[in-house]
Amino acid sequence: MRSMVAQEVAAPDVDRNVVGALLFLGIFLFFWVTTNPYVDLRGEAILDPSAGNSNRLNQIVTLALAGSMMIFGFLNPLRSIILQPRGLLGLTFGWFLFTSLLSNYPFLGIKALILAIITIVNAAIFLLLPASERQFGKLLAIGTLIMLGFAYFGVMFRPELSIHQASELREPTNAGFWRGHFAHKNSAAAAMVIASFSGFFIMSVWSRVIGLAIVVLSCFFLMHTGGKTASAMLPAVLLIAWFFERYRMLRIPIAVGGVAAFNLIAVGSAVIKPFRELVNSFGIDPTFTNRADIWRFAFSAISERPITGYGINSFWQTKEIVYSGDSIATWATAAYNGHNSYLDIWLQTGLPGLILTLFFVLFLPLRDLSRADPEGSQSNVTRLFMRIWLYVLFNAGLEAIFFDSGSFMWFMFAVALYSFRLRGADLVNAPKATARRAPAHA
């Protein structure tokens, strides 16, 4: 009788664990592999701003995964973490909606907002799916190995779609660089950096052999992407994160000061001659691979609408910009984005939108991290996401990442933000009686 009762009590937990594992891998592969891997960059459609904006399969999978995640999340005792902090997110999305309604493409802005909310909800629930830290490491290893399998399979068996070709119309100079199943070598390089962080984590919590294999495979692929910035940032972030973890007094200077200095040097060199000369004196490309033209063009557009911006997804790749008279003066009108998350948010949502975003991605995580593990070193999970958080914060100075709902980097970054909240929020420090009733989570 005792055995039968135990089986009946354990059955729902087993079912929940299986469902959680399947959802974990489903949402992970959705962002890391996508429903449309191996994009062909050689067709003329790649130059058309209206091409490839929608995919029926992608929409179906998005809704199916989001619905399943929400059901799982709202049945979890820790569901209060979802869409937190609600006040800040309410103000942020409310302002984004306001600026989008003022734009020439309000429907694009509303669609982007809905996807952004879905992505953040998925990120909040993501860490509630595994039953333990060890299972989280195991599932992360499976998902990362599948992603690496797609990347290497493409390079070996579909090189015309996985290695940049000289016949590509947009950036033929990238010929020979690996991109795997990703759309660009820079995306592939960033993926391999985050995969390396995951490998180190897996070595600590589950399997040293598999974790080391992931690190080796990721670094080998990274070396062939031609991603110089990503290759340099991998060891740099590991070192910075080590100081960030051990010396609390350095956290604000590293995060806030580092982001400010990086943007001042990078973007400042595009518009301020003394900074450009300073960067050049260090032997660094002052154009940051031709990004300076984009930044100068973005600044000129911001000067016309510094407060309300142009609306989410309502500036880059719109027909007014791509086919404008400015295209004669600068190639930057054909850019996909501003190649700087902070500048892009300012451009699209105005100065209030930039300030609200900084609170969400920078200042709030710093507060949550100060509450997490106040005594001693960070946990393995916190260390993993602290590295991802720092990497994306700095990489955001060269790429448009924030609120990019289809980006694996933004998804993992949002997961990092919620990992800090789960680690430092009061609900984690709830009375033991409450904790016993709640299922374990990563």
In tens, the pLDDT along 124-154 reads: 999 999 988 999 999 999 999 999 999 999 9
Of the candidate ranges 58-72, 323-337, 399-413, the one whose mean pLDDT is the lowest: 323-337
Whether pLDDT at 58 is above 80 = yes
338 domain residue, yes or no: yes
Beta strands in 1-137, from DSSP E residues, in sequence order: none
11 domain residue, yes or no: no
Of the candidate ranges 155-159, 317-321, 425-429, the one whose mean pLDDT is the lowest: 425-429
118 domain residue, yes or no: yes
269 domain residue, yes or no: yes
Residue 302: what pLDDT?
Answer: 92
d(CA 166, CA 68): 42
DSSP state, residue 282: T
d(CA 164, CA 52): 19
d(CA 369, CA 388): 14
Residue given tokens 């990503």 in the structure block: 230
- For residue 116, the enclosing domain spans 76-126+227-437
Q: For helices 341-358 and 86-101, what crossing angle results, to 10°?
A: 130
139 domain residue, yes or no: no
31 domain residue, yes or no: no
Residue 332: what pLDDT?
Answer: 76
The 3-state DSSP class for residue 332 equals: helix
**Highest averaged pLDDT of the listed ranges 341-345, 425-429, 431-435:** 341-345
34 domain residue, yes or no: no
Residue 436: what pLDDT?
Answer: 37
Closest CA to 311 of 348, 354, 357: 348
Of the candidate ranges 87-91, 109-113, 262-266, the one whose mean pLDDT is the lowest: 262-266
This prediction's pTM: 0.90
d(CA 274, CA 164): 36
What value does the CA radius of gyration of the chain take, rounded to a whole number of Å?
22
361 domain residue, yes or no: yes
Q: For helices 408-424 and 380-395, what crossing angle results, to 10°?
A: 140
Q: How many domains does the chain have?
A: 1
d(CA 351, CA 53): 28
d(CA 411, CA 274): 37
| Token couple for 154 | 């493409």
Check: CB of residue 254 under 8 Å from CB of residue 243: yes
The 10s digit of each residue's pLDDT in 385-407 is 999 999 999 999 999 999 998 89
Whether pLDDT at 76 is above 80 = yes
Which stretch of DSSP H or E encloses residue 262? helix 258-271
Mean pLDDT of the chain: 85
